[in-house]
Structure 1
Amino acid sequence: MVKRTSQENSLCGVARPLDAIGDGWSLLLVRDAFDGLRRFGEFQKNLGLAKNILATRLRHLVAHGIFEIVPAPDGGSYQEYVLTEKGQALFPLLVALRQWGDAFFFEPGEAHAELVEKKSGHPLLPLQLRGQNGRVLRHADTTVRVPSGEATRARKKARV
């Protein structure tokens, strides 16, 4: 596996989290946890991922505080992986990725899994970014503000 350069000192809010979740398998593990999977064997069966790779990904997600390991509720010898508050906060990211995938990776009318509201069964509305005044924002309406100063310039390694 290629060793990635750490982004832990980056000023970019996209780069830093990629150290924790910048791997497709990691996001699929988080997705599966939202779908109710909790045990190593469940993740392995659902993803078909080699056990050594799965173990590495789960350790990484635990180390980054996205999952925590808890004893099985039935008192058995199994451990379970549950999303922490930090892990649960990834839900909007997964919804955005799913909606982007639905829009651009399926042919019109092609069957695919759909995220729906439990109570009504209706599909979710597309996510929208809004400004302080409630106005819908597009990329052209935003800019990245990078702090200035000597200490900041010395730490700056990557920018988006």
Structure 2
Amino acid sequence: MLGKTYDTQVCSAARALEVIGERWSLLIVRDVLFAGATRFADFQRLGIATNILAKRLDSLVEAGILERRPGKEQPDRSRYAVTRKGLDLAPVIIALTQWGDQWAAPDGPPILYRHTGCGDAITEQTACATCGEVTDLAQIHVAHGPGFPQAMAARKNRSDAAAPR
């Protein structure tokens, strides 16, 4: 995993990977969101060592992605529920699954995400908030956002101005 400082990584993707980038973490969230997993025993079918599973669940709770609740029949045994922050990972899981279906599933998609209302496939797409879908990566450019450090922007602007044209 990435380090805890972002001196060279001024990027929300890098920061997100610090929270959810360990492979078991995303699979745990997937199972909560789409497989109905809520108890420690439910996650054991992933094949995670119990000590690692306990650490991952603790880190997801600490990050605010899952919350720990007392069990209904056994209050001393926790169950896990997804938070709003965790729900917002659903498109990430669907997009990663789409990529895996195309590039890492030689026998075809092993699972399909379907819309309950009509039964059609659920997909994630890159879209412009104003005019719709973006069909070519050449249509995407990167700009500094409000969280970009001013000192780094000033350095970049100085080096851009000094570059030969």
Measured against the shorter chain, the TM-score band is 0.7 to 0.9
Q: 5+ residue gaps in structure 2?
A: 156-165
Aligned Cα root-mean-square deviation (Å): 2.3
Structure 2 CA distance for aligned equivalents of residues 51 and 71 of structure 1:
19
- Structure 1 residue ranges, 4+ long, deviating more than 3 angstroms after superposition: 7-10, 151-154
Which amino acid is the alignment partner of residue 41 of structure 2?
G
CA shift in 2, pair 1:68/1:152, >3 Å: farther
Pairing 1:64–2:78 present: no
Pairing 1:84–2:83 present: yes
Between Structure 1 and Structure 2, whose CA radius of gyration is higher?
Answer: 2
Task: State which of 118, 126, 131 in structure 2 corresponds to 1:129.
Answer: 126
Aligned to 2:28: 29
**C-alpha deviations, 1:122-143, integer Å up to 9, x for none?**
222x322221332322322122
Structure 1 CA distance for aligned equivalents of residues 109 and 13 of structure 2:
32
Structure 2 CA distance for aligned equivalents of residues 120 and 5 of structure 1:
44
Secondary structure at the aligned position of 1:48 is classed as coil
Stretch of structure 1 that moved more, 52-61 or 136-145: 136-145
TM-score norm. by structure 1 comes to 0.81
CA contact (8 A) 1:115 1:123 kept: yes
Higher relative contact order (CA 8 A, sep 6+): 1
Secondary structure at the aligned position of 1:62 is classed as helix
Aligned to 2:142: 144
TM-score norm. by structure 2 comes to 0.79
Secondary structure at the aligned position of 1:14 is classed as helix
Percent of aligned pairs sharing the same letter:
33
